[in-house]
Amino acid sequence: MAPEKVTVEVEGRTLGLSNLDKVLYPGTETTKGEVLHYYATVAPVLLPQMRDRPVTRIRFPEGVGGISFFEKNLPSGAPEWLPRVTIGSHSSRGSGDSVTYPLVTNVAALTYLVNLASLELHVPQWQVQDDHPTNPDRLVVDLDPGAPAGLSECATLALAVRERLHTLGYDRTIPVTSGSKGLQIYAALDGSQSSDEVRDGMRELAQALTRDLPDLVVWKMTTSLRKGKILLDWSQNVAAKTTICPYSLRAKDRPTVAAPRTWQELEADDAAPGRLQQLDYEEVLDRLDKDGDLMESITES
């Protein structure tokens, strides 16, 4: 029996959407149609986070818990109208290979990719201009807890990271709970630094915080060092790396989101641990209605 298809028009593009009743999150019985609806609703704030950034997707054709795969290249059969950019590989092996990535510039492109069960959208911290990567326009510090440490310990460390970033002159910062275990801190950049320079600066910050807070922080990836501590992952600023895009869904038991938060929320958790929790897509949409786009303060217009 052929998959059920619905034909829709999105921004003047005709798209065939399939299997809208397919459950992609078994734990909450969230369907593909609900996932598509979330992404269409959140598009006004999600698209600025992906603007001019090559998008790597993690696809889950059978839903969360089933087979999944990373996809960097443009999907086979992609329509001609889908924006794209071809970029030389950042591989350290220097193979000289190139990758043709999709660029998600509008709701039609977003809908096309999500219809392929692209639940997670990952982007670098740099953009492309005239088909070439630019210097990064933002930095990211990823806080990854090792059990039994969790989100509350990440919140405490995030406040210390914010102070260090402010000391370094990074005044526009925003925390984002990752939708997984930890959180990220983003800061706006002026484009004057290369990815390598940003990486080196964040590695020095991680090393300094490891010296000052040795019971809380590690800067090395070594698994044996991470029990009960927070890995301050400076390496997300390497040009070849991507990070979950703010407002993207995560492929977890429930449809959680990489959700921008306020510093006041982290301060409240630091005072009374346990308040800060990962948010699902319904909570994120409710917050958008009440608070607007918290990422706007570090996003170029």
Q: How many domains does the chain have?
A: 2
CA–CA separation, 259 and 279 (whole Å)? 7
83, 102, 133 - which closes a domain:
133
Domain boundaries, position 221: 138-249+259-298
Tens digits of per-residue pLDDT, 10-61? 999 999 999 999 999 999 999 999 999 999 999 999 999 999 999 999 999 9
HSE-CB at 10 with a 13 A cutoff on CA atoms is 24
CA–CA separation, 258 and 182 (whole Å)? 10
133, 148, 170 - which closes a domain:
133
Tens digits of per-residue pLDDT, 87-96? 987 554 445 6
116 compared with 224, residue with greater pLDDT: 116
183's enclosing H/E stretch is: strand 183-188
Whether residues 32 and 146 share a domain: the answer is: no
**CATH number of the domain enclosing 288:** 3.30.70.3300
Whether residues 95 and 174 share a domain: the answer is: no
Single-letter residue type at 6: V
84, 105, 133 - which closes a domain:
133
Residue 254 lies in a domain: no
**CATH number of the domain enclosing 107:** 3.90.920.10
Whether residues 166 and 293 share a domain: the answer is: yes
CA–CA separation, 43 and 35 (whole Å)? 12
Q: Do 278 and 177 contact (CB within 8 A), yes or no?
A: yes
